[in-house]
Amino acid sequence: MGFSIELIQHQQFNLNFWDIGGQTSLRSFWFNYFDKTDFLVWVIDASCLFRLQESFQEFGKVLKEDRLTGCGLLVFVNKIELFKGNQKELVEQIVDLLGLNEVRNHAWNVVCCSAYTGAGLEEGLDWITEEYSKKYYIL
C-alpha cells in the first residue's frame, strides 16, 4: 500500500526499486516515475486472479508509454503459495493474456514468487541483472 523506495544489493549490482503501488488512487502517479527506467516489475496477486483482466488493462496502458520503450519487463506472480493450480499453466495463461509473445521492444520474463516465503524472488533478481549485463555488455 502506498509508495516506497528500496535499495537492494544483488550480485555486484545496487538495484533501486520504486514501489508506487497499484491501487486505483495511485495509478495517475505512475507516469511520473518512468524516466530512466531500466526495468518494470509488474506484480500480479495469485490469490486474486479474478482481477487479472483489470491488471492487464492497466499493463497495456503502461506499455504504450514511450519512456519505457526498451526497458525489461518482469512479471512477478506473487502469493504463489496460495495458488492451488498448475503454476506452469498459470504462467502460460498470463503470457497469453498480456500478449507477451508479441512484445518486441522489451525483454520479458514471468516468475512465480512469494514475498512471504521468498520463493522465486532470487530468480527474478537474477533475470534482471543478467538482462542488464547483456544490454550494457558487462561481463
Cα–Cα distance for residue pair 31/135, rounded to 1 Å: 24
Torsion, CA 128, CA 6, CA 61, CA 120, rounded to 10: 50
Q: Which of 9, 12, 23, 57 is catalytic?
A: 23
CB 97 within 8 A of CB 113: no
Read off the C-alpha cell for 117: 516465503
Q: Is 57 noted as a catalytic residue in this protein?
A: no
Of 39, 104, 114, 128, whose CA–CA distance to 81 is shortest? 114
Q: Active-site positions? A: 23
